[in-house]
Amino acid sequence: MFGEGKVDELTQVVARTGAEVAVVDNRVGPYQTYNIGGKLSTGAEVVDRFTLILEIFGQRANTRTAQLQVELAELRYELPRAEAKASLAKRDERPGFMGLGEYDESREQDIKSQIAVIRDELDQIAETEESRREKRRASGFDLVALAGYTNAGKSTLLRRLAADHDVDENEELHPDLDRTAESEDRLFTTLGTTTRRAEVGPREILLTDTVGFVSDLPHWLVDSFRSTLGSVYHADLVLLIVDASESVAEMREKLVTCHDTLARRNEAPIVTVLNKVDQVDDKELEQKRAALEALAPDPVAVSGLTGERVDGLRERVDRELPDWQEERLYIPMTDDTMSLVSWVHDHGDVETESYKDDHVLLEFRARPSVVERARSRAGSLPA
């Protein structure tokens, strides 16, 4: 990890500053942690990048799903350390060798058992989520997910697009859907998911804000948050939010990481959104567009904070979502007819509604699933 000279330099810095923790911006193995910590005469704790991230995640995990995902990530991170202790103890027959703690041969198996239990519970949550997504689509909603780096402004943009239209969720069935989205200038504020209603053109959509991506994360850590990221992977459209105020190099690096994360499971088209344009002038914005064209073709530039160009984003979302199907129904007047007419108004875009000879003519556009359900309901009415 470091040469002896660099460790001596670190020791001097820790002593001079009185630091209680030394954070290494990399993954540090158990032996390396012990060796570096042994050099720090002040007794400062040595923490690597992933331990720090997991500690922050643990503090922000306020829902059952988020807590399970953080616990899974922590266990997956601890497992190779437990395996290292087991291997070393078996080889050297010296409990506590290298200061790694006394060997407990059951610890490795305990971790694997806990991982299996948590995975089973998260799989059940994922099945519930998929069922909920399908019910929402059948009710006429398109599902749009906000993805991108932490602190790119996803939560602010969610609030701008969705205004005050909250999703009325059953807390018992789905504890991860909060009624508000935090908008703060700090990292990792969103660990669960926040879903809100929004209107784009004639459509009603559900917008979901999710956990922000972080650079240089191993695949096992990203996979630990698979349940939360499911709303991104299975959306009808993904808005990839990028901070336009950052340098081209930073934006490029983050776009590569985002595409790498999304490419593994994502099923939906991706539209890149250059956010925070209130912090850059038009010339700089065009230069960044040109430099990032290969990674972000035809992006949309907006400011979630001021609302600048957000109407253009709504229009783009409407164009990118799956086409609606046109339908013409001639419905007999019965006690249930007006209920069906009202339902079509709520779930589609009605172009014609006329009454003649005890029938109603409806011409409308809607998602194919809504059209199919309208046909079925109309067909069940008595002639």
pLDDT tens track for 165-221: 444 443 333 333 344 444 444 444 455 678 888 888 888 888 988 767 777 777 777
Proportion of the chain above pLDDT 90, given as a percent: 25
pLDDT band at 88 (very low <50, low <70, confident <90, very high): low
Q: Are residues 247 and 297 in the same domain?
A: yes
Give a yes or no: residue 359 inside a domain: yes
Q: Are residues 105 and 249 in the same domain?
A: no
Mean pLDDT score, 280-287: 94
Higher pLDDT, 165 or 37: 37
Q: How far apart are CA 325 and CA 339, in angstroms?
A: 21
Last-in-domain residue among 272, 292, 320? 320
Give a yes or no: residue 131 inside a domain: no
Residues contacting 148, CB < 8 A, separation 6+:
154, 212, 213, 240, 241, 242, 254, 258
Region label for 13, one of left (φ > 0), alpha (ψ between -120 and 50) or beta (otherwise):
alpha
Domain with 316 in it: what CATH number?
3.40.50.300
- Which 3-state string (H, E, C) describes the chain? CCCHHHHHHHHHHHHHHCCCEEEECCCCCHHHHHHHHHHCCCCCEEEEHHHHHHHHHHHHCCCHHHHHHHHHHHHHHHHHHHHHHHHHHHHHCCCCHHHCCCCCCCHHHHHHHHHHHHHHHHHHHHHHHHHHHHHHHHCCCEEEEEEEECCCCHHHHHHHHHCCCECCCCCCCCCCEECCCCCCCCCCCCCCEEEEEEEECCEEEEEEECCCECCCCCHHHHHHCHHHHHHHHCCCEEEEEEECCCCHHHHHHHHHHHHHHHHCCCCCCEEEEEECHHHCCHHHHHHHHHHCCCCCCCCEECCCCCCCCHHHHHHHHHHHCCCCEEEEEEEECCCCHHHHHHHHHHHCEEEEEEEECCEEEEEEEECHHHHHHHHHHHHCCCC
Mean pLDDT score, 50-74: 81
Q: Are residues 268 and 154 in the same domain?
A: yes
Give a yes or no: residue 216 inside a domain: yes
Domain of residue 195, residue span: 139-320
Q: Are residues 253 and 188 in the same domain?
A: yes
Least confident of 8-12, 34-38, 263-267: 263-267
Q: Would you state the pLDDT for residue 310?
A: 93
Least confident of 7-21, 27-41, 90-104, 139-153: 90-104
Q: How many residues does the chain have?
A: 383
Q: Are residues 207 and 109 in the same domain?
A: no
Q: Are residues 229 and 98 in the same domain?
A: no
Residue of 156, 196, 159, 199 whose CA lies nearest to 178: 196
Is the pLDDT assigned to residue 70 strictly greater than 70? yes
Q: How far apart are CA 262 and CA 164, in angstroms?
A: 29
Last-in-domain residue among 76, 91, 122? 122
Least confident of 57-61, 132-136, 196-200, 271-275: 57-61
Q: How far apart are CA 209 and CA 182, in angstroms?
A: 10
Residue of 204, 39, 228, 83 whose CA lies nearest to 136: 204
Q: Are residues 192 and 271 in the same domain?
A: yes
Amino acid at 320: E
Residue of 169, 164, 160 whose CA lies nearest to 193: 169
Q: Would you state the pLDDT for residue 138?
A: 74
Q: Are residues 185 and 245 in the same domain?
A: yes
Higher pLDDT, 178 or 52: 52
Q: Are residues 70 and 146 in the same domain?
A: no
Q: Are residues 49 and 78 in the same domain?
A: no
Q: Would you state the pLDDT for residue 239?
A: 94
Q: Are residues 203 and 252 in the same domain?
A: yes
**Burial group, residue 67, by CB count within 10 angstroms (0-12, 13-18, 19+):** middle
Domain count for the chain: 4
Structure tokens at 205: 């959509």
pLDDT band at 9 (very low <50, low <70, confident <90, very high): very high
Q: How far apart are CA 257 and CA 149, in angstroms?
A: 9
pLDDT tens track for 96-122: 444 445 555 677 889 999 999 998 998
Q: How far apart are CA 31 and CA 229, in angstroms?
A: 33
Give a yes or no: residue 134 inside a domain: no
Q: How far apart are CA 60 and CA 189, in angstroms?
A: 7
Average pLDDT, the chain: 81
Q: How far is residue 221 CA from its own chain's centroid?
A: 13
Give a yes or no: residue 73 inside a domain: yes
Give a yes or no: residue 129 inside a domain: no
Higher pLDDT, 353 or 170: 353
- Which residues is 274 bridged to in the sheet? 242, 301
Higher pLDDT, 198 or 86: 198
Give a yes or no: residue 80 inside a domain: yes
Structure tokens at 111: 């971790």
pLDDT tens track for 213-253: 777 777 777 776 776 677 788 888 999 999 999 999 999 99
Q: Would you state the pLDDT for residue 365?
A: 86
Q: Would you state the pLDDT for residue 172?
A: 35
Residues contacting 49, CB < 8 A, separation 6+:
23, 24, 25, 26, 27, 216
Q: Are residues 207 and 316 in the same domain?
A: yes
Last-in-domain residue among 59, 83, 106? 59
Q: How far apart are CA 71 and CA 220, in angstroms?
A: 13
Structure tokens at 245: 């105020």
Give a yes or no: residue 79 inside a domain: yes
